[in-house]
Amino acid sequence: MTQSNADPAAANDPPPLHDQLCYAIYTAGIAIQRAYKPLLDELGLTYPQYLVLNVLWRDGDQTVGAIAQALALESSTLTPLLKRLEAGGLLSRTRNRDNERQVVVSLTEEGQALKHRAGCLSDTLLAASTQTPQELAALNRDVRYLRNAIYSQIGGWDAPA
């Protein structure tokens, strides 16, 4: 078919799904979560709950807004996760004494102790990926760079330091 006979609308058709970077990243995320699932089940956590705990393990007490910012989530999405973690005895939520509109989230002793049990997730990913630690670190760096570059153009999120 010559260029003049080609359907001009077809020029805007998306590439096949398997050729799209967004699909590869999306399905890689799903694969990682599936690899983590048995360990998270043992810990009694969902993957989003694990992410919340990671923020608290790294940064200590945080406002709901700060956790939402770190995870690129809306506060309204985060609140049900926090309620379930609080009901499970892993964290507590209290009003900020200096600004009652803010809720401060803190780990309980049980939540802090879970950090050491959750450390094995990175070993799981390393084994399941068949990559070296250096290869995974390079991939992580490249994906973070891509994410940050996209957000710098579209706005809506500041990458955590």
pLDDT values of the chain reduced to their tens digit, one per residue, 161 residues: 445 556 777 778 889 999 999 999 999 999 999 999 999 999 999 999 999 999 999 999 999 999 999 998 888 889 999 999 999 999 999 998 888 888 999 999 999 999 988 877 888 999 999 999 999 999 999 999 999 999 899 987 777 65
Q: Specify the CATH number for 18-154; select among 1.10.8.640, 1.10.10.10, 3.40.50.1100, 3.80.10.10.
A: 1.10.10.10
For the chain, how far is it from start to end, CA to CA, in angstroms?
Answer: 52
Three-state SS annotation for 57-93 = HHHCCEEHHHHHHHHCCCHHHHHHHHHHHHHCCCEEE
Q: 105: which strand partners?
A: 62, 93
